């Protein structure tokens, strides 16, 4: 068997914000069948743009393999950061609502960089 190469393997993911949101739409349609997901996708893009402006983020680039949230790497004042934008409109799962508490817990260790 021949291992995959650049010409025979799967196509590379589209690591633009629009490409990442398009990939998320396929997951979202399974989570929320029958929903009009266009406004959800637009809201995620707009909130990412607003966060980037508010926090002075540069080099915002989606990280691959997301399933629910749009997760991007960026830099702020030369330091690497990660920004995560959850889609709104769904019932909040208890695990998602605890993320803020988890970040607050780990912040004193230096694992979480406040923006």
pLDDT digits (tens, 9 = 90+) for 38-77: 999 999 999 999 999 999 999 999 998 888 899 999 999 9
Terminal CA-to-CA distance of the chain, rounded, Å? 49
pTM for the model? 0.74
Residues with Cβ within 8 Å of residue 20, at least 6 apart in sequence: 13, 14, 62, 64, 66, 70, 72
pLDDT digits (tens, 9 = 90+) for 26-35: 999 988 888 8
- The CA-CA-CA angle for residues 9, 12, 16, to 5°, reads 175
């Amino acid at each position: 068997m021949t291992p995959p190469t650049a010409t025979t393997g799967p196509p590379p993911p589209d690591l633009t914000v629009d490409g990442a949101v398009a990939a998320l739409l396929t997951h979202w349609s399974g989570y929320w069948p029958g929903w009009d997901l266009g406004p959800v996708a637009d809201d995620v893009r707009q909130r990412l743009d607003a966060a980037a402006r508010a926090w002075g983020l540069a080099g915002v680039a989606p990280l691959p393999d997301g399933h629910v949230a749009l997760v991007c790497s960026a830099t702020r004042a030369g330091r690497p950061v990660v920004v995560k934008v959850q889609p709104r409109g769904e019932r909040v799962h208890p695990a998602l609502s605890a993320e803020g508490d988890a970040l607050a817990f780990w912040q004193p260790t230096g694992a979480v960089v406040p923006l």
